[in-house]
C-alpha cells in the first residue's frame, strides 16, 4: 500500500512523443508512431485527440500495444489532430495520474501536452505556484508548464506557452495541441531530439525518425534547438522565442538511447555507433579470437570494432527478447535476476576462446559482472571488455534515467578497480575525444562542448536549480508537504 501518495514518484522522465495534424487516421498513426518509440518509455502510454468540437483522451499503464491495439481504443480518439506519449519513469510506483499527455481546460479552450526531457527547476517553480494557489493533479515536472500557462498575463495561447517556457529550465522536447494547432518545441540547447515529417497532406512530429518510417511518412527536418513550430491549417509557422545559443544535443542518445535506425540531427545513430566501435578498436586493440556484442545495445559498436580490428564478429551471447530491459526493474534483486533471464552464453562457440565483449555503457556495473561470469562459466579463455562510451561518472538531470552518483560504478572507482570488480582480463572505455571523433568532430571543444556530455564530464550546460536544494530528499519532503495540504 502506498501511504504517501507521492511515494516512489520523482521528476525523471525519459520518454517518446508523437503528434499528427490533419489526418483522418490520426489516432491509428499515433499508435503506430508510439509503438516505434516504445524503447523510449515502457511504463505508460497516452493519447489526446481533437475532433473539431471535443477533446478525447485515453491513457494507460503498460506498453502501447496494451492500450491502443483495439479498434475501440482508436475509435475513442476521434479527430484529425492527435498527440501521444510514452512514459518511462524511474524506480518506484508508476501512477496513472502521471501518464501523459496532460490535458487542461483553460478559458481559451483545451490544451494538451506531452514531454520528453526533465525540467531542472520544476520543484522550485511548483513550490511558488502552490503558494500562489495552484492545485497540482500529478507529480510530473511537466505540470508546472500547465500552471505557468494558466497564470500567464498574456492573452494568445502561443504567447502564454512561450511565457511559460521562458520560466522553465531543463531539457524538453514537447508536443502540444490546442483547438486549432499542433505545436512542437525543443529547449534552447535542443538536448532531446524532435523531428518534423509529412504524410499525405498531414504534418507529423516525432521524437525520432524511426516513428516516421513506421507510418511511411517523409522526413522534413529536425526541429531546431530553441525552435517552436506551430502547425495549423495555415501551414508550419517557425518561431525562435529564446535568445540564440549553440545547440548541445545529448550525446547519450547516440550511444544508447535512440533507435539505431533513426537519424538524429543529421547523424545516423547506427553509423555513429559503428564509428564509436571503430575508434575504440583503434584506441584499445587487443589480441583475441572474436568480438562479441552484449545484445542488443552493444551490437553496432561491436560491428565497428570487429571491422576495424579485423577480428571475427560472433554472437557469443544470445538474448531472450521476451524479457524487458533489465535497467527499468525497480529493485536490485530483480535487476540481478533480470540479467540472468535475459542473456545466455553461446557455450559451444566461446569455449576455449579469447573474447572481446563490447557494450555501450557501464552504469551500475551489474550487467557487466553477470555477463563476464557467464562467459567464464562457458569456458572463455580470456575475457576483454571494451565500452563504447567514456565512464559514466555523473547522473543525467536532463531526462535520461540514470541512478544517483553513489550508484554509478565509474564514480566509485577507477578503471583498474572496475576491471577487477567486473572480473575481466582487460577493460577499456572510449576516450572523450575518440567519442567526439566518431561524432564527426576533431575533438571535444573543452571551452564550448558541441554536445551535452554531462554524464561523462560532469559539465552540466543547464542550471540544476532543484538539485542545489538537496536532490530527491528535498523533492520528496516538499511533495509530502504538498500532499498534506491537499
Ligand atoms: P548496468 O548493469 O547498470 O551497468 O547497466 C548497463 C547497461 O544498461 C548498459 O549496457 C546499457 O545497455 C543499459 N543502459 C545504460 N543506460 C541506460 C538507461 N538510462 N536506461 C536503460 N538502460 C540503460
State pLDDT tens for residues 269-281: 999 999 999 999 9
Distance 327 CA to ligand 1 centre (A): 6
Q: How far apart are CA 125 and CA 120, in angstroms?
A: 10
CATH, range 268-457:
3.40.50.2020
Residue in 39, 341, 361 to alter for ligand 1 test, most ligand atoms within 8 A of Cβ: 361
Cβ of residue 325 lying under 6 Å from some atom of ligand 1: yes
User: In this structure, are residues 325 and 41 in contact, taking their beta carbons and an 8 Å threshold?
Assistant: no
pLDDT of residue 2: 26
pLDDT of residue 334: 65
Residue 339 pLDDT class (50, 70, 90 cuts): low
Residue in 14, 258, 359, 367 to alter for ligand 1 test, most ligand atoms within 8 A of Cβ: 367
Q: Does this model's pTM top 0.85?
A: yes
**Average of pLDDT values for 282-310?**
98
Does position 82 have pLDDT exceeding 90, yes or no? yes
Q: How far apart are CA 437 and CA 279, in angstroms?
A: 8
Does position 426 have pLDDT exceeding 90, yes or no? yes
Distance 192 CA to ligand 1 centre (A): 18
Distance of CA 316 to the CA centre of its chain: 28
Does position 141 have pLDDT exceeding 90, yes or no? yes
Does position 483 have pLDDT exceeding 80, yes or no? no
The catalytic residue among 15, 210, 396, 452 is 15
pLDDT in tens, 449-472: 999 999 999 999 999 999 886 544
Q: How far apart are CA 291 and CA 296, in angstroms?
A: 14
Atom of ligand 1 nearest to the CA of 369: 2
Q: How far apart are CA 428 and CA 434, in angstroms?
A: 12
User: In this structure, are residues 203 and 82 in contact, taking their beta carbons and an 8 Å threshold?
Assistant: no
Cβ of residue 400 lying under 6 Å from some atom of ligand 1: yes
**Average of pLDDT values for 72-96?**
83
pLDDT of residue 331: 63
Residues 6 or more apart in contact with residue 446 via CB below 8 angstroms:
none
Cβ of residue 327 lying under 6 Å from some atom of ligand 1: yes
Assigned architecture for domain 7-248 = 4-Layer Sandwich (3.60)
Distance 161 CA to ligand 1 centre (A): 35
pLDDT of residue 94: 64
pLDDT of residue 322: 81
**What rounded mean pLDDT belongs to the chain?**
91
**Average of pLDDT values for 74-79?**
98
Q: At what angle do helices 471-485 and 122-131 cross, to 10 degrees?
A: 20
Q: How far apart are CA 71 and CA 61, in angstroms?
A: 18
**Average of pLDDT values for 247-251?**
98
Note if 455 is an active site residue: no
The position carrying cell 483545451 is 110
Query: Of 41, 66, 34, 68, whose CA–CA distance to 327 is shortest?
Result: 41
- Cell numbers placing 188: 534552447
Q: Cα dist. 32→29, 117, 262, 414 in Å? A: 5, 22, 16, 44
Q: How far apart are CA 407 and CA 467, in angstroms?
A: 17
Domain ranges of the chain: 7-248, 268-457
pLDDT of residue 402: 87
Does position 291 have pLDDT exceeding 90, yes or no? yes
Q: In 3-state terms, what secondary structure has residue 267?
A: strand
pLDDT of residue 468: 84
Closest residue by CA, ligand 1 atom 11 = 361
pLDDT in tens, 194-238: 999 999 999 999 999 999 999 999 999 999 999 999 999 999 999
- Cell numbers placing 464: 540544476
Does position 75 have pLDDT exceeding 50, yes or no? yes
CB atoms within 10 A of CB 474: 16
Cβ of residue 367 lying under 6 Å from some atom of ligand 1: yes
Cβ of residue 119 lying under 6 Å from some atom of ligand 1: no
The position carrying cell 533513426 is 262
Cβ of residue 364 lying under 6 Å from some atom of ligand 1: yes
pLDDT of residue 7: 34
pLDDT in tens, 144-193: 999 999 999 999 999 999 999 999 999 999 999 999 999 999 999 999 99
Does position 98 have pLDDT exceeding 90, yes or no? no
Residue 262 pLDDT class (50, 70, 90 cuts): very high
Distance 50 CA to ligand 1 centre (A): 38
Residue 88 pLDDT class (50, 70, 90 cuts): confident
pLDDT of residue 336: 63
pLDDT of residue 335: 60
Atom of ligand 1 nearest to the CA of 400: 19
Atom of ligand 1 nearest to the CA of 366: 2
Amino acid at each position: 500500500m502506498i501511504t504517501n501518495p507521492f511515494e516512489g514518484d520523482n521528476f525523471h522522465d525519459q520518454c517518446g512523443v508523437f503528434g499528427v495534424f490533419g489526418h483522418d487516421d490520426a489516432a491509428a498513426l499515433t499508435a503506430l508512431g508510439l509503438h516505434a518509440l516504445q524503447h523510449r518509455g515502457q511504463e505508460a502510454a497516452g493519447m489526446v485527440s481533437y475532433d473539431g468540437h471535443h477533446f478525447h483522451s485515453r491513457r494507460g499503464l503498460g506498453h502501447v500495444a496494451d492500450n491502443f491495439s483495439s479498434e475501440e481504443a482508436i475509435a475513442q480518439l476521434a479527430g484529425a489532430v492527435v498527440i501521444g506519449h510514452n512514459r518511462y519513469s524511474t524506480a518506484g510506483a508508476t501512477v496513472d495520474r502521471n501518464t501523459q499527455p496532460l490535458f487542461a481546460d483553460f478559458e481559451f479552450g483545451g490544451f494538451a501536452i506531452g514531454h520528453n526531457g526533465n525540467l531542472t527547476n520544476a520543484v522550485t517553480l511548483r513550490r511558488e505556484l502552490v503558494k500562489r494557489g495552484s492545485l497540482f493533479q500529478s507529480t510530473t515536472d511537466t505540470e508546472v508548464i500547465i500552471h505557468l500557462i494558466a497564470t500567464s498575463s498574456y492573452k494568445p495561447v502561443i504567447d502564454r506557452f512561450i511565457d511559460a517556457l521562458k520560466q522553465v529550465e531543463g531539457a524538453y522536447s514537447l508536443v502540444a495541441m490546442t483547438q486549432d494547432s499542433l505545436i512542437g518545441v525543443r529547449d534552447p540547447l535542443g538536448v532531446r531530439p524532435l523531428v518534423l515529417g509529412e504524410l499525405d497532406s498531414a504534418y507529423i512530429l516525432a521524437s525520432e525518425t524511426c516513428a516516421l518510417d513506421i507510418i511511411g511518412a517523409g522526413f522534413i527536418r529536425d526541429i531546431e534547438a530553441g525552435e517552436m513550430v506551430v502547425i495549423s491549417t495555415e501551414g508550419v509557422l517557425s518561431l525562435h522565442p529564446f535568445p540564440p545559443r549553440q545547440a548541445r544535443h545529448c550525446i547519450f542518445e547516440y550511444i544508447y538511447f535512440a533507435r539505431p535506425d533513426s537519424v538524429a540531427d543529421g547523424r545516423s545513430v547506427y553509423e555513429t555507433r559503428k564509428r564509436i566501435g571503430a575508434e575504440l578498436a583503434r584506441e584499445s586493440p587487443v589480441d583475441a579470437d572474436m568480438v562479441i556484442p552484449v545484445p542488443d545495445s552493444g551490437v553496432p559498436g561491436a560491428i565497428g570494432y570487429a571491422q576495424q580490428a579485423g577480428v571475427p564478429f560472433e554472437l557469443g551471447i544470445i538474448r531472450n527478447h521476451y524479457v524487458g530491459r533489465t535497467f527499468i526493474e525497480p529493485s536490485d534483486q530483480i535487476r540481478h535476476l533480470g540479467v540472468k533471464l535475459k542473456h545466455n552464453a553461446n557455450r559451444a562457440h566461446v569455449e576455449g576462446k579469447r573474447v572481446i565483449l563490447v557494450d555501450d555503457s557501464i552504469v551500475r556495473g551489474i550487467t557487466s559482472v553477470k555477463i563476464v561470469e557467464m562467459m567464464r562459466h562457458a569456458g572463455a579463455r580470456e575475457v576483454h571488455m571494451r565500452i563504447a562510451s567514456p565512464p559514466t561518472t555523473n547522473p543525467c538531470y536532463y531526462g535520461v534515467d540514470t541512478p544517483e552518483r553513489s550508484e554509478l560504478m565509474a564514480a566509485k572507482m577507477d578503471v583498474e578497480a572496475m576491471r577487477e570488480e567486473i572480473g575481466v582480463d582487460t577493460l577499456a572505455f572510449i576516450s572523450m575525444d575518440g567519442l567526439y571523433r566518431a561524432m564527426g568532430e576533431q575533438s571535444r571543444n573543452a571551452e564550448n562542448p558541441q554536445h551535452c556530455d554531462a554524464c561523462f564530464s560532469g559539465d552540466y550546460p543547464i542550471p540544476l536549480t532543484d538539485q542545489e536544494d538537496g536532490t530527491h530528499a528535498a523533492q520528496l519532503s516538499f511533495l509530502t508537504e504538498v500532499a498534506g495540504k491537499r
